[in-house]
A and B are shown apart, each in its own frame.
Chain A
Amino acid sequence: MSAAAEILEKPRTQTPVNMASADFAERAAIDRSCRGPVLFFYTSAILWLLAGSLLGFLASFKMHSPEFLDALAPLNFGRIRPAHLNVVAYGWATQAGLGTAIWLMARLCRIPLAKPWILNIAIVFFNVGLTLGIGALLLGQGNSIEWLEMPGYSMFIMFVAFALVAIWGVHMFVRRREGHVYVSQWYLLAALFWFPWLFGTACILIHTVNLGGVSLGAVNWWYGHNVLGLWFTPIGLASAYYFIPKVIGRPVHSYYLSALGFWSLGLFYSWNGMHHLIGGPFPAWLITASIVASFMMIIPVLTVAINHHMTTKGSFHLLKYSPTLRFTVVGAMAYTLVSLQGISMASRQLNQITHFTHYTIGHSHLGLYAFFTMIMFGAMYYIIPRLVGCEWRSPTMIKMHFWLSFYGIILMVAALTFGGMAQGLNLDNPSVSFNAVTEGTIPYLQARSWSGIALTLAHVIFAVHYGMMLFRLGRKGKPTLFVDLPQEAKA
């Protein structure tokens, strides 16, 4: 049995860290330097997560019980729904992603976080822009361009924030320590470069050029799909590629495969956008190009799946001990699942049934929650203790968070998938009246509201636990996971 396998097989309590090593001191110093901006991002993200969960629950409830709280205009479904999307996509997911990304960049560049003031300014801009935007949405100033509903001024303020983070990212990379560039860094640099371009182009075309007609539809879904594929996916994969090997203690199975996965992701993903508009008023070549590119996605998706699986193989028992590994592995598996589902949805046959139904919403939550959010939770459970210097106080709260999120999202996706399929089959049958179609969806939508309760509860538990960490109420004194910084490393 190899030395590595022997270590992994032994039952153990805590594993002692070699505190005398220079690597340890360097790592501790890097972690410490990240504290301000990362915790700032995370605190904002978690607060938006709570708001977004509440908005999501409200939206869900109104879909099967439209009379609920229907007197006030800001609580109308047509406003709550885009508010929910923008809050969770920009407020929660983007900020959790950025907090994780900057910690990963610092660790992988192996230098302490430089110029934190750039990031702190970015975070302020970001939250101000987003708050103005969400307020505008609720007050009826949304423009109904999905994922880009917020007014120009708030998008511009957020763009400045993105640009600042991108500049910081390049600054860090240029100053990095000599050595190989890790796969996570390719993904993060790509995301930090692609997203401001994406965001900026879309905003200019909408707010300055005042694009209209179907070419706006093309731009809209070029943007919307690329937010998922070239912003959230790279950050999620960067996180998974770091934490899975790091927690298990074994390097990525095939580095060559990760390179293949990276380039094929960039090449194919960005052509997918028009698969949101199959059957719509567009030239056939445009739609077909996106369907073909969607099928080609099988390459990066299988590449990543094989890589992660082979890295984790033989170590699945470690999921029992590490919340980070649990959340990340679930997220990585969800990535494969949601991508394969998405590829199938791009086929004209399936699309004819599922387009315009709740099936699509099930798919989007499988991606943004089961994949991205779960991976973010995993990253946060690893990073936060290393920033605040104490261990999570309550393993029970972590477990409750995990199981509520896990079962919650399974219930949501199942309800919307089966409900959406039924809805689609009914819609496709012209002899079924529209009223009957709607009637058929109600029980599934109610199940989805139950899942919303589970997820909201999970998030409240996580937020409370995080609050405890911020106030240093975690566990101290256990050896290893967190240790006091040696004297020299204390600034």
Chain B
Amino acid sequence: MIVSWVSLLLLGIGVLLACTAVAALFWAARNGQFRNYEKGATVIFGDDEPIGQPTDMVFAPKVRKPKVNKKS
């Protein structure tokens, strides 16, 4: 493999980019971007489709009639 100064330069830029990404992540954490984070998981629910209510019952379950013991 030919190791020219250009490839070393590009490798350096790549490492720099990666460091910037990591730095951005730390900054975001310190800046409170991740505060109250878990609440983000609940945005897909609402008054009409609240948490705890399944929203897709195409194959509707049959209501099971309680078994009556015919023998008295």
Contacts and interface: CB of A to CB of B under 8 A. Distances in A.
Is there any pair of Cβ atoms, one from A and one from B, under 8 angstroms apart in the complex? yes
Interface of A: 3-4, 7-8, 11-15, 17-19, 21-24, 27, 107-108, 179-183, 242, 245-252, 254-256, 258-259, 263, 267, 283, 285, 315, 318, 320-325, 381-382, 391-392, 395, 398-399, 481
Contact of A245 (B37, B41, B63): B41
Given A21-B47, A180-B39, A251-B51, A481 B57 contact: yes
Given A255-B41, A395-B59, A17 B52 contact: no
A246 B49 contact: yes
A481 B1 contact: no
B32 interface: no
Contact of B43 (A19, A21, A182, A322): A182
Interface in B32-59: 34, 37-59
B64 interface: yes
B46 A23 contact: yes
23 contacts: A8-B54, A14-B57, A19-B48, A21-B46, A21-B47, A23-B47, A23-B48, A27-B46, A27-B48, A179-B43, A182-B40, A245-B41, A245-B44, A246-B56, A247-B54, A252-B41, A320-B59, A321-B60, A321-B61, A322-B57, A322-B59, A324-B58, A395-B58
Contacts of A382: 56
A246 B55 contact: yes
Range of interface residues on B (Cβ < 8 Å): 20 to 34
A11 B61 contact: yes
B57 A15 contact: yes
- For the residues of B in contact with A, the DSSP-based class is loop
Given A11-B63, A180-B40, A256-B37, A323 B52 contact: no
Contacts of B47: 18, 21-24
B37 to A, nearest CB: 5
B51 A391 contact: no
A332 to B, nearest CB: 16
A18 B59 CA distance: 21
A381 B58 contact: yes
Nearest to B46: A23
A3 B52 contact: yes
Contacts of B56: 246-247, 321-325, 382, 481
B13 interface: no
B15 interface: no
A269 to B, nearest CB: 15
A10 B17 CA distance: 53
Contacts of A182: 40-41, 43-44
Nearest to A245: B44
A258 B43 CA distance: 15
B19 to A, nearest CB: 13
Contacts of B16: none
A249 B52 contact: yes
Contacts of A24: 46-48
B23 interface: no
